[in-house]
Every structure is written in C-alpha cells, then in structure tokens.
Structure 1
Amino acid sequence: MDLRQIEYFHLVARAGSFSAAAKSAYVTQQTLSASVASLEQEWGIPLFNRRRQGVELTAFGEAMLPACEHLLEEAASLGGLVDRYRESVAQTATFAYASASLQQQGEGFTLEGLARFRADHADADLRVFELTSDACLSALAQGEVDLAFVVGEPDPAQFSFTKLVDAHLLVALPADHPLALKEAISFRDLAGVPIFPTPDLKETYHRIVAGFERYGLKPNYVPLPFSLENAQRFVRNGEGVDFSPEHNADEPPEGIVYRPLTPEDAFTLPLGLAEKRGVPQSPLMAELKEFILAR
C-alpha cells in the first residue's frame, strides 16, 4: 500500500467511475484501475462493486473511505510542514568571524558590508557571531556555524577554505614607547616586552613563538581575556604591545602607533572563508558566500 493507491481509491469513490477519476488525475484509466485493483488484492476485500454504468462502494469501501480521507489530509498537512521547513532552512544561516579579522569599512568584505547584506535580507534569519579563529573552526566542526571568516588555512581534510587575502600582522605600540621611533620591529626588539594576549589562533601563536626562538627568546604574554578593546586599552595604557591586523592601522586609535615587523621576521597568514566538508549549503548561506567573494 502506498499513498498514491489511497489517493486513486478516493478519487474513484468521489467521481463514481474510473474514467472520470482518471481524467481528474491526468493518468490513463488502465493505470488508475490497476492501482486500485492492487490495493484490493493487498487488503483481500473488494472496495467497489463494478457495474456497466459505473462503480459503487462496497460496505468495506464505505468503511475505509473516511479513514483514507483522513490519511490524505494528514499527508497534505505533512507536505505543507515539509515545504515550510524547506523555506525556513533556505532563509536561515549562521555566520561567524574571527575577532579583529573584519575591518569596519573600506575595501573588500567588511562589517559595514555584512550589515548591508543583513539589511537587504531583513526577512531572513542570519545569525552572526564574533569568535576567536579557533572557536570559529570548532563551531563549524560541531555544526553550530555554517560559514566562518577565519585567519589561517584550516585542516583541509575537515574544512574547505576559500582564501580572500593575506593577513599581515603589525606591532601595536604605545605612541610614546621607545620602539615607536623604529621603522620596523624585530622579535629581538621585543625581548621581555609584555605582549597582549596569547593569540586566538594557534598558528599565529606558533609563528610568533618561532620568531622569538630564532633569537633564543620567548614571548612574554600577559594572561588577559582576548578582545580588540582590551588589546587597545592595554597598549594605550603603556602596559605593552600587541600583534594586530594591518587594517587596524588605517584609523589608529589615539595613543597607539603601528609598526611592521622587519623583513626577516615578517610573516603573513591567509584570511578567508571556511566551511565544513560534506555539509550542504542553504540558499541564504550560498548567497552570503557569493556576496563576500564579490567584495
């Protein structure tokens, strides 16, 4: 028994003939008749008395008709639920970006551009989270996030990655710090200087540690919670320095200057979009990705 057989039985019962029911279902009379006959054979009891002038329900057919009508109504309701769910999924997405990786405005993909996309899709449920780079990847792995804007290329076995730009790190210094007079800073210059805080991305941390180790040094990280505001306050107050994305130097906060690393110590990390492999994209997420890549 399948739903199509129940539907054909219902059509014949309401139409009073196989030919009229077949026309309303846009199938041949032979197809519809065979389907109903198959249902009768499965149940072992006739549903119709077949006569030259048409058909009429047997007592069993009359008993089964209300139950079959109820089943068809439930199926239609379920179909509507599926359609509503598909529509909901199409208009739902979760996006995360690494703290300090997105500049407020300017060229490329920015927070201003993200706000514009959300405004243009006011009826959609686009949830946005600001996390650390590693937390973005963890959320992707656990299915809590659909798309993430991260620093550093993630594990290709688990994530697909679309590179957008190379992220250059600068050293943020108090404006009155002696090192602020230098055109470029080496890791040797930062010996013993407090650094805020341990980077939110393991790859950045390893690169910085390796840079210090070339001079037989270790970075002096301070144990403070990560946030861009905390980092800028730390530097502005003269407590130490911070490794910061170069876009933060476009409009430097008062009391802070940015200097590049020396050529022998400088390094870059890719910045781009990460997705968990094997997870289908919702239409909204596909549209957001296209929007970001077009910037």
Structure 2
Amino acid sequence: MDLRHLDSFVAVAEESSFSRAADRLHVVQSAVSATIRNLEREWGVTLFHRTTHRVELSPEGRALLPSARAALQAAAAVGHAVDEVRGGLRGTIRLGIMQATQGAGGISVAATIAAFAAEHPGVTVEVRQGGSADQAERVRTGELDLSFLGLPDRDLPGLDVTVLAEPAMVLVCHVGHRLAERGAVELKDLAGEPFCDLPPAWGVRVANDRAFAAAGLPHELAYEINDLATIADFVAHGLAITITLEMMLAPGVPLARVPIRRGPRLAVAIAAPAQRPSSPAARAFVTMARRHALVDGPAH
C-alpha cells in the first residue's frame, strides 16, 4: 500500500463513483478499480458495495475512511513543510464556492482566484460548487481545503472562519406587488405571502428559515428552486416573492427591491478547518480573499 492507494480509496468514497474518482485523479477508471481491488485483498475487507447505478461505502470502508484521510493529510503536511523550506508555493487548493459567486457580499470570487493565480502560478485551484451548509461540512471532513460560505453565523463548529462581508438582504417582489413601493418592510408584513427560495443547504435559505423561525412567523414556500435566475423569473411574473442579497440578482430584471427592518443577514466568509493545519498555499489564499474583500466590498 502507498499513498496513491489511499488517494484512490478516498476519491471513490467522496465521489461515490469510480469514473468521477478517475477523472479527479487524472487516471483511467480501470486503474482506480484495480487499486481498490488490491486494497480490499490486502486489508481483507470489502470497502465498497457496487451496483449498476451506485457505489457506496461498506461499514468497514466507512470505519477506515477517517484514518485514510488522516494519513493523506499527514503526508500533505510534510509536503507543505518542504515547500516552505524551499520557498515559493506549490500544490493544489480544493476550494468550495457558492452558487452566486459573482456578487455575494460585493466580493468577486473569480477576481480573487485570478489574482491569486497571477501571484502564485505554482498553485492549482480546483473549484467545487455547492450549498454553504454542505460546503462547510466538506471542509470539516477534509474533502475541501477552503470554502467561501454565506451563512447567518460568524462562528461555525470545527471551522476557522474569516468574515469578509455582512451584507443586508432585501425583499424582492414584482413591481406591481402591494409592498413594492414601501420604503421598508418587516418580516411580519410578509406573513401569508408565497415564497420562492433556494434549497435548505444554501446559505440564503438557512438565513431566511432561521429569521422567520426566530420571529415566530411562517415561511411558506410555494417554489424551491436551485438557481437565482429562475427564482428572479418566477418573482418577475408575480408567482412569489423572495428574500436575497440584492447584488446576487442580475441587473436589468424588472423587480422591486425593498429593505427589511431586522431582516435576515448573511456573514459572507471563507472557512478553513480548525482541527488541522492549513497548507501555506491555503493560508495565502485566505490572505488574498481578505485583501479582495477590502477592495471589492469591505465588511461592516
């Protein structure tokens, strides 16, 4: 067994697919399958249950996965130390991003990555998109090195959180809606309105659910949709209202934006694991993200 065997095991476990694991490792699928068979023979256990459509960890595989991840992280730490001794940054950062990365909190994730690449050409940034709650868990487990998050909390268990901005969220409704001309609204004014919102793991949805629950008010979802452009289209046609960050909406869409007194808020942040050391490259990326937050949209 060598580290490449462990890497294959972890990749198949995280991707739930031999083909996706092969793509991730830049090898052919047959090589990944052969590695897993060799590991199972060497360890004397079945690591995965395979069907025509699914690959899932066996109980033995689930028990061994944390140790495999820990071994890979220890090996990576040695590599990071070598890089620091040599000078210069190398390696790969597995970075989680949110859906609406173009304007969350006024911060351009793409601009941050571009600036980092220009400054540290020896580092590859691999991007994986998902809901903030799911991305936070992937940082905790080691599947991601860092992730941009938009969640209500400034402090998250198991994570070292650097808050970049705390933008206000607004009511978004059809221009002919009864509340469209109001100077501001409160959550109680929205009781009984049909809402269009993102799935439960997305930060905007978490913030909305939590704010309505704290106010003791219903958050009645008529539509659950996982992209903001479609949500905006539903709202523009008067099917529902929504609460989101104003900068997440594409310009030019005929929608009313109304401030909310004591409404939901997000902490747009970048999160690293708290329980294990980050690589020099990951630490440098956090520094770059903070620098761009100050340029593009200072936290307040």
TM-score (norm 2): 0.59
Look up the equivalent residue of 1:279 and give its one-letter code. R
Q: Distance in 1 between matches of 2:108 and 2:188?
A: 34
SS of match in other structure, 2:257 = strand
Q: Counterpart in 1 of 2:145?
A: 146
Where does structure 2 lack aligned partners over 5 or more consecutive residues? 1-77, 84-88, 293-300
Q: Counterpart in 1 of 2:161?
A: 161
Pick from 277, 291, 295: which aligns with 2:274?
277
Pick from 284, 289, 295: which aligns with 1:292?
289
Q: Counterpart in 2 of 1:132?
A: 131
Q: Counterpart in 2 of 1:73?
A: none
Identity across the alignment (%): 20
Q: Counterpart in 1 of 2:33?
A: none
Give 1:159 deviation, angstroms.
1.1
Matches within 5 A, 1:242-257: 242-248=242-248, 252-257=251-256
Look up the equivalent residue of 1:209 and give its one-letter code. A
The verdict on how the C-alpha distance between 1:185 and 1:252 changes in structure 2, with shifts beyond 3 A counting, is farther
Q: Distance in 1 between matches of 2:132 and 2:113?
A: 18
Q: Distance in 1 between matches of 2:173 and 2:114?
A: 31
The verdict on how the C-alpha distance between 1:133 and 1:84 changes in structure 2, with shifts beyond 3 A counting, is closer
The verdict on how the C-alpha distance between 1:273 and 1:120 changes in structure 2, with shifts beyond 3 A counting, is same
Q: Distance in 2 between matches of 1:123 and 1:160?
A: 25
Q: Counterpart in 2 of 1:181?
A: 181
Give 1:246 deviation, angstroms.
3.2
1:195-235: CA deviation from partner (whole Å, max 9, x where unpaired): 11255233542113333x2xxx4111134232222221221
1:98-133: CA deviation from partner (whole Å, max 9, x where unpaired): 3336518x9655433334434555553211122111
TM-score (norm 1): 0.60
The verdict on how the C-alpha distance between 1:92 and 1:85 changes in structure 2, with shifts beyond 3 A counting, is farther
Q: Is the 8 A contact 2:228 2:248 kept in 1?
A: no
SS of match in other structure, 1:95 = strand
The verdict on how the C-alpha distance between 1:139 and 1:222 changes in structure 2, with shifts beyond 3 A counting, is farther
SS of match in other structure, 1:127 = strand
SS of match in other structure, 2:276 = coil
Q: Is the 8 A contact 1:153 1:161 kept in 2?
A: no
Matches within 5 A, 1:32-71: none
Look up the equivalent residue of 1:137 and give its one-letter code. A
The verdict on how the C-alpha distance between 1:189 and 1:179 changes in structure 2, with shifts beyond 3 A counting, is same
SS of match in other structure, 1:268 = coil
Equivalent pairs counted in the alignment come to 206
RMSD of Structure 2 on Structure 1 (CA)? 3.1
Q: Counterpart in 2 of 1:14?
A: none
Give 1:170 deviation, angstroms.
0.7
Give 1:288 deviation, angstroms.
1.2
Look up the equivalent residue of 2:145 and give its one-letter code. D
Look up the equivalent residue of 1:275 and give its one-letter code. A
Pick from 199, 205, 211: which aligns with 1:207?
211
Q: Counterpart in 2 of 1:112?
A: 111
The verdict on how the C-alpha distance between 1:220 and 1:93 changes in structure 2, with shifts beyond 3 A counting, is same
